[in-house]
Amino acid sequence: MPSEGASCPPLSVAAGAPGAVMLDGASIRALRRALLDWFRPDARILPFRATSDPYAILVSEAMAQQTQAARAGEAWTGFMAEFPTVEALAAASPADVLRAWQGLGYNRRSLDLRRAARRIVDEFGGCVPSDLASLESLPGVGTYTARAVAALAFGMPVGAVDTNVRRVLGRIVAGETGVLTPTELQRFADAAVPPDHPGDWTHAVMDVGATLCRPRRPDCEACPARPWCRHAAAAAAGTEGRRPAVTAVRARAAPFRTTSRWLRGRILDRLREASDGAWVVLDESIGEHDPVAVERAARSLAKDGLLELDGLAPGMVRARLPLA
């Protein structure tokens, strides 16, 4: 899905981060070949993997944070139809963007993405920047997202470390997650990226983490990284680390419908159903939340910029999605 916006300059590819490599060069090359050979016939089919447009990839990475990839893929298709270019997203109202984001949760991400689009248009000529420092300067873009966009859209040999990647690489080189420092893990992630296939590698490691190297009961037998993985070797020998038994009784998590997050989502859904600019009165209970809790949640949403309030008298709150 190529962008119809400004014509952007090509990337000058930079080298990955220097530093010690935790596997020798031959082992890293063999690990790369094994993961890529496994990935190409067995890759998860996700709609945003069919594009090389940096803007479309930025949108997909914003959506995929704390969201299942399949769910993000469905939402991405509709969002890109609504806002096919970075210019279209930059020109949209916050209300339009929030409506298009429905179902994804973590709604502040959508407004950060809109702010990033405006920055890209105003400061980068409508071209998603290709260097890490500029990417990380965009609203809502952190280290992982910047590196994912750099690798997938611009072919930069840098490692994008999310939860799945952290688990896969941590188990390979240290036997378990949480052993390496973030700096050590990032150094290995960068060193492991094949310079000629950074995009496929990024997806391959993520797919291993999502489908085989699961947090519980990893399928080491089917994993292409098994020959180089310390965790798999320890599991085969029966010496893998085991967490001590938990003797304290854990408190049961509150039902989701009783949480503030659930209530905030329902308030925004009500506002999404209203006509653009129309005020919605919030003076009744929603689910198990009484009017006082509803008002408190509405004020919190307003503070986060996710809605506008009018009529602040206690018990008589009117709200709408933000128009500007």
d(Cα 226, Cα 258) in Å, to the nearest integer? 43
d(Cα 149, Cα 153) in Å, to the nearest integer? 5
Q: Which of 21-25, 156-160, 259-263, 271-275 has the lowest mean pLDDT?
A: 21-25
Give me the pLDDT at residue 126, please.
Answer: 97
d(Cα 19, Cα 38) in Å, to the nearest integer? 28
Confidence of residue 42 (pLDDT cuts 50, 70, 90): confident
Which CATH number do you get for residue 264?
1.10.10
d(Cα 67, Cα 65) in Å, to the nearest integer? 5
Confidence of residue 225 (pLDDT cuts 50, 70, 90): very high
Q: Which domain holds residue 220?
A: 25-237
CA torsion angle for 63, 164, 143, 26 (degrees, to 10)?
-140
d(Cα 209, Cα 164) in Å, to the nearest integer? 5
Shared domain for 33 and 178, answered yes or no, is: yes
Q: What share of the chain is helix, strand, coil (3-state, %, to 5)?
A: 55, 5, 40
Catalytic residue among 4, 61, 184, 240: 61
Give me the pLDDT at residue 105, please.
Answer: 85
Shared domain for 210 and 316, answered yes or no, is: no
| 178 domain-assigned | yes
Shared domain for 227 and 282, answered yes or no, is: no
119: its two tokens = 């920055």
| 10 domain-assigned | no
| 108 domain-assigned | yes
| 171 domain-assigned | yes
Which CATH number do you get for residue 184?
1.10.340.30
Give me the pLDDT at residue 315, please.
Answer: 62
Tell me whether residue 61 is one of the annotated catalytic residues. Answer: yes
pLDDT at residue 13 is higher than 50 = no
| 310 domain-assigned | yes
Q: How high is the mean pLDDT of the chain?
A: 88
Q: How many CA atoms lie within 13 A of 21 on its CB side?
A: 13
| 3 domain-assigned | no
d(Cα 161, Cα 147) in Å, to the nearest integer? 8
Confidence of residue 52 (pLDDT cuts 50, 70, 90): very high
d(Cα 96, Cα 245) in Å, to the nearest integer? 49
Shared domain for 132 and 222, answered yes or no, is: yes
| 79 domain-assigned | yes
Give me the pLDDT at residue 7, please.
Answer: 58
Query: 314 vs 121, which has greater pLDDT?
Result: 121
Shared domain for 51 and 157, answered yes or no, is: yes
User: Per the structure, how many domains does the chain have?
Assistant: 2
pLDDT at residue 153 is higher than 80 = yes
Shared domain for 278 and 232, answered yes or no, is: no
| 245 domain-assigned | no
